[in-house]
Structure 1
């Protein structure tokens, strides 16, 4: 129960009713502000920008990123294992559909979870993901065929992660304003740390306990860490009710349209190096060397720093311009991948690509928040953008796999990723001028 004072207004929420400043009962007001077991604040005070409750939300959201994007960021480890062991009879492109469908569902489910979050159903979303993600990981342990892996890893884990993704992003702006970029950087670094931990866990457990128990232990870890989020995450602002799954007004706003197209292009390219990095290294400088199997973990370790660093400078030069720098350098690094044919080169590429792509995960939500005046619609707009990003991630790696199958050469998928990152940069330049006008020097 919470009491908040704002000017002459005093509202105390009780289980048996709302008591206002003159002591009278007002059950009608309570029905308008209390949704889905969520405790909300009834005033218009700005975000506290810190404090114990606010940083608890960072911890809870960090845990969600650890288990959503964290499980997807380590799919390259599964890609290598499936190609060489469990699904060795399948093509790399067919196997990559598992990871791409998983990432698609994580993002696409946002078109439903966003409005549900705005309507106050945070607890429903958390509990759904709390069950589906660990259950899917454990079911992988008994899979022997392609369609079984698709159902367990792509569908079950993907839908569960999608239920958790929007809450992990949308709740932070309710508690932070000036420190919002920093808080989001910390939260999104959870996905990189999750990618490191889960990749190392899988590679170290696989020869000791086998594939089945390796994935079961990952499932138990996921259940325990998502439990933290279920315990600590709480909405701060009032729920608004489900208005619709789409905010059609957003598509009439030029900044939102430019933003959506630009970010979706980056998602087509983002997973290509993550999925194909290890297999490329095994034939280009790290033949037969165990370190090649840890490149995904190394990439995610670099991304931990890469998600915090842009967040530290975003307040100074603006989130749009910070994201522009990150995406451009990621594109340059993707082109540098073309000439990588030594062990040291593959390790260096993993570190730098992880570092520069950190901003691609950490900053888009901050960018969207910067030009979204009505935060009560943020969950819905994030969900709409996530749907487009989901389609992009769905087609990206299978296209790369098809290119690889037809050419037998990694050069073309490296160019594919590099040019898409540069195209994203062009959209971000356009977004900056749409927001600020024709000023050459402006913060955006």
Structure 2
């Protein structure tokens, strides 16, 4: 048998093995695996010889890279104690990143009548918006650092800044104290650790990646649900300072688990670029980023102000009103799981467009909601649909980049998240200024209009990516 025919047989066998490894992967799961790191490679010295390069006395055998790759499906654990411990680590990272950001509404309400009583709603909301802004901006910068294998260092430093920020917040008495502790310190800390929570799972799971990612991402909703309840229950009994320290202790204990169990299995063999300016000439990418910018500019108005709305307007008493943020975040848990499951079959852009549209409409519905059942129903639905807007973009960036721009997926995500973070930064402070000058009806109209405008641009991205045909998986 000739060497050339043997090499051909090897290529066929390899293709078959790849097909078998991918059989049970949905498109969304495959996208996450595809985005995680460069292709599995074979060392130059170990390539199969061709007809012109014989190795006498040596039998041909398959040789892999010394470093395992997540794209070599057979090498991915896809379960086991160590893999699921990474899910636990990621769960608590989500719990202490987006969970903290989603819980800011409890502080917005407290600060307006507590230690920052002299500050306007707009000034107070700057604290929460800078926190969310830094989460996304620092997260995009931390990506290349993670690529170099410093995930544990990022997690350690970020965890320290989050706990330190909480403890300094407990000592705060002035606006600038709160701004530096909660907005800057915690914001930078969450940005440093978030990328590790997102990236680590795709290196440990293949066919179970959707389940593992869903379990981990649920941490953000559960954190956003539990943190407000704990603060509300403890603050009247032990005061603001000690209630904040208790939250800091919870962050310390949960992040300690993440630091103890997180382990890097593989690192990318190529480093991502910080910028790819020609990407902005790609219409689907441009439209999606514009849509996400306007969407996130208006999306967080209910997260920050719905609690104040139901209490100040008398729709709910203070005891019940403080739980509405927990209802919103609890519903968001399902919004992060179900739409993602459907998106694997219908396409993520096809799912995110109606979710964005419904999020805008539901904000308008709050204008006419004057009873407990109506507000609760709207808030629960809003939590569900807005949850999809947080969980789907990463998969969408993979779709937009496509197979021809594989090496730029991380760069496209980083640029997109950095751009969208500006919308998050300015959105809620503008909402607060509108509230000071007008009423809650005006801020629901403002937030709803921006979210609807965002849905239009995302719809344009969908058509630019998948043509004008409606029955196309995009």
Bucket of the pairwise TM-score, normalised by the shorter protein:
0.7 to 0.9
In the alignment, what sits opposite 1:15? none
Give the superposed CA RMSD: 2.6
Decide which of 307, 312, 327 is 1:298's aligned counterpart: 327
**CA–CA separation in structure 2 for the residues paired with 1:44 and 1:375:** 13
In the alignment, what sits opposite 1:380? 411
In the alignment, what sits opposite 2:425? 394
In the alignment, what sits opposite 2:384? 355
What is the SS of the residue equivalent to 1:266? helix
**CA–CA separation in structure 2 for the residues paired with 1:431 and 1:95:** 34
In the alignment, what sits opposite 1:14? none
Seen in structure 2, the aligned counterparts of structure 1 residues 175 and 364 have a Cα distance that, compared at 3 Å, is farther
Q: Alpha-carbon deviations, 1:401-434, whole Å to 9, x = none?
A: 1111122x11111111112221222122222222
**CA–CA separation in structure 2 for the residues paired with 1:177 and 1:376:** 20
What is the SS of the residue equivalent to 1:109? helix
Listed as ranges, the matches of 1:65-84 within 5 Å are 65-84=94-113
Q: Once superposed, which parts of structure 1, at least 4 consecutive aligned residues long, lie more than 6 Å away?
A: none
Moved more, 220-229 or 244-253: 244-253
**CA–CA separation in structure 1 for the residues paired with 2:356 and 2:94:** 21
Q: Is the 8 A contact 1:118 1:380 kept in 2?
A: no
Seen in structure 2, the aligned counterparts of structure 1 residues 320 and 225 have a Cα distance that, compared at 3 Å, is same
How far did residue 438 of structure 1 move?
Answer: 3.3
In the alignment, what sits opposite 1:406? 437
Decide which of 186, 197, 203 is 1:157's aligned counterpart: 186
| Unaligned residue ranges in structure 1 (runs of 5+) | 1-5, 8-17, 23-32, 35-39
Q: Indicate yes or no: 2:161 matched with 1:132.
A: yes
In the alignment, what sits opposite 2:452? 422
Q: Indicate yes or no: 2:303 matched with 1:274.
A: yes
In the alignment, what sits opposite 2:68? 41
**CA–CA separation in structure 1 for the residues paired with 2:194 and 2:71:** 26
Q: Indicate yes or no: 2:464 matched with 1:434.
A: yes
| Unaligned residue ranges in structure 2 (runs of 5+) | 1-12, 15-42, 48-64
Q: Alpha-carbon deviations, 1:303-333, whole Å to 9, x = none?
A: 1122111122111111111112221211121
Seen in structure 2, the aligned counterparts of structure 1 residues 415 and 223 have a Cα distance that, compared at 3 Å, is same
**CA–CA separation in structure 2 for the residues paired with 1:183 and 1:233:** 15
Q: Is the 8 A contact 1:166 1:382 kept in 2?
A: no
Decide which of 239, 261, 265 is 1:232's aligned counterpart: 261
Q: Is the 8 A contact 2:203 2:265 kept in 1?
A: yes
In the alignment, what sits opposite 2:249? 220
Decide which of 347, 364, 369 is 1:318's aligned counterpart: 347
Q: Give TM-score, length-normalised by structure 1.
A: 0.86
**CA–CA separation in structure 2 for the residues paired with 1:420 and 1:186:** 30
Q: Is the 8 A contact 1:169 1:365 kept in 2?
A: no
Q: Is the 8 A contact 2:272 2:411 kept in 1?
A: no
In the alignment, what sits opposite 1:346? 375
Seen in structure 2, the aligned counterparts of structure 1 residues 383 and 243 have a Cα distance that, compared at 3 Å, is closer
Q: Is the 8 A contact 2:295 2:451 kept in 1?
A: yes
**CA–CA separation in structure 2 for the residues paired with 1:231 and 1:249:** 41
Listed as ranges, the matches of 1:143-222 within 5 Å are 143-176=172-205, 180-222=209-251
How far did residue 237 of structure 1 move?
Answer: 4.2
**CA–CA separation in structure 1 for the residues paired with 2:395 and 2:202:** 8
What is the SS of the residue equivalent to 2:78? coil
Q: Is the 8 A contact 1:186 1:307 kept in 2?
A: no
What is the SS of the residue equivalent to 2:125? helix
Q: Is the 8 A contact 1:72 1:195 kept in 2?
A: yes
Return the index of the structure with the highest Cα Rg: 2
How far did residue 343 of structure 1 move?
Answer: 2.4
Seen in structure 2, the aligned counterparts of structure 1 residues 345 and 284 have a Cα distance that, compared at 3 Å, is farther
Q: Is the 8 A contact 1:189 1:362 kept in 2?
A: no
Q: Alpha-carbon deviations, 1:91-113, whole Å to 9, x = none?
A: 11111111011111111112311
Aligned length: 412
How far did residue 168 of structure 1 move?
Answer: 2.2
In the alignment, what sits opposite 1:253? 282
